[in-house]
Amino acid sequence: MKLRVRWRWTLSLVALVGVNAAPLLGVFLFDWDAGVIVLLYWAENLVIGAFTILRMVLAPVPVRLFHLGKLFAIPFFALHFGAFCAVHGLFLMAFFQLGGGPDVVLAETASSGVFVFFELLVSVLRNLWRNPPPAFGWLVIGLIVSHGISFVQNFLFGGEREVLTIGKLMSQPYKRIVILHVAILAGGVPVLLLGSPDAPLTILVILKIVLDVSLHVREHRRLGPSVDTRERTDGADAASRGR
């Protein structure tokens, strides 16, 4: 069991570190500034949200709780997390002068009620993607692949699917994103004020890698003992039945 877990962590962490180090290519080859780096990290929020919804769809729940556990929780998470990302995107557009600024997005928004957040998010995405920085799309694909590897290894085949509840799945993205983006903005704002020179940008990327790896390892290590215990219990039960 330990060998299997170690191999899984290694592949997962290599993908995570690789995709998080890739923005340095944008800095040195395409003159990316702090705004583009932070925009990429914002796009990662959407990738995390999509995989969270997929985890919630595939998470097993008792039949009697199906309607309450999934039919309510999934739309609620999509609305709440989408609103979070939309407002966060508007802030980045205003602060880093991206995509024409937030006034363009607000002018395009005509909905009212809860659906206004979905329209805001779509408008933010549309305006930010009109003139993407060079190689930006490839990095977004890299983020999808990296999170996909973690999804397959840790959730589908690592035992987390049986351990994580709908409530835990809903709360996981917020804990990670709040910690990560407070640190990123704390580092990104000084970099922006300095004119986004290469050295501080490199430090910003390294800070993201260190935080991401730490949160990733801590999150899955916390779940590991539960999976191991469950497997040992199942094995003991099987041995007892064999007697």
pLDDT value of position 64: 52
pLDDT value of position 109: 72
pLDDT at 145 over 50: yes
In a domain, residue 48? The reply is: yes
In a domain, residue 81? The reply is: yes
pLDDT value of position 222: 62
| Closest to 185 in 3D by CA, of 94, 100, 104, 120 | 94
In a domain, residue 242? The reply is: no
In a domain, residue 232? The reply is: no
- Note every long-range contact of 222-227, with CB atoms under 8 Å and residues 24 or more positions apart, other chains counting: 223/154, 223/159, 223/160, 223/163, 223/164, 224/5, 226/159, 226/163, 227/158, 227/159, 227/160, 227/162, 227/163
pTM over 0.85: no
In a domain, residue 241? The reply is: no
Residue 25 Cα distances to 32, 37, 42, 86, 198, angstroms? 9, 11, 18, 27, 11
pLDDT at 26 over 50: yes
In a domain, residue 15? The reply is: no
In a domain, residue 94? The reply is: yes
pLDDT at 148 over 90: yes
pLDDT digits (tens, 9 = 90+) for 37-80: 888 988 999 999 999 999 998 888 765 555 556 778 888 899 88
Lowest mean pLDDT among 136-140, 147-151, 156-160: 156-160
In a domain, residue 202? The reply is: yes
Residues 1-23, buried b or exposed e (16+ Cβ, 10 A)? Answer: eeeebeebbeebbebbbebbebb
pLDDT value of position 112: 63
> Which letter does DSSP use for residue 122 in this model?
H
Domain count, the chain: 1
pLDDT digits (tens, 9 = 90+) for 182-228: 767 776 677 777 776 777 788 888 888 888 888 888 777 766 544 44
Q: What is the mean pLDDT of the chain?
A: 77
- Domain hosting residue 51, numbered range: 31-224
Q: Angle at CA 197, nearest 5°, toward 196 and 199?
A: 120
In three-state secondary structure terms, 58 is helix
CB 165 within 8 A of CB 225: no
